[in-house]
């Protein structure tokens, strides 16, 4: 199943999230839905 980008995160924001050692995955709430961003910058809706 092909994936569709739902959110593009600015590199500066991405680097701040991961350089602070928050972890491999970051949970983001976007438009009332929870999405997960992996360390590779991939955003998946669950």
- Over residues 2-11, the pLDDT tens digits come to 666 666 666 6
Q: What is the model's pLDDT at position 27?
A: 66
Alpha-carbon dihedral 19, 21, 24, 25, rounded to 10 degrees = -90
Report the percent of the chain where pLDDT is more than 90: 0
Which three-class secondary structure state does DSSP give residue 11? helix
35 is written with which tokens? Answer: 């999405």
Which three-class secondary structure state does DSSP give residue 13? helix
For the residues 24-41, what does the mean pLDDT come to? 64
Where residue 32 falls among pLDDT bands split at 50, 70, 90? confident
DSSP conformation class of 21: T
Residue with tokens 């009332």: 32
Q: What is the model's pLDDT at position 42?
A: 52
pLDDT at residue 40 tops 60: no
């Amino acid at each position: 199943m092909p994936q569709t980008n739902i959110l593009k995160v600015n590199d500066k924001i991405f680097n701040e999230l991961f350089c602070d050692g928050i972890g491999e995955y970051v949970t983001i709430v976007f438009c009332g839905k929870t999405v997960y961003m992996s360390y590779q910058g991939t955003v998946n809706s669950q």
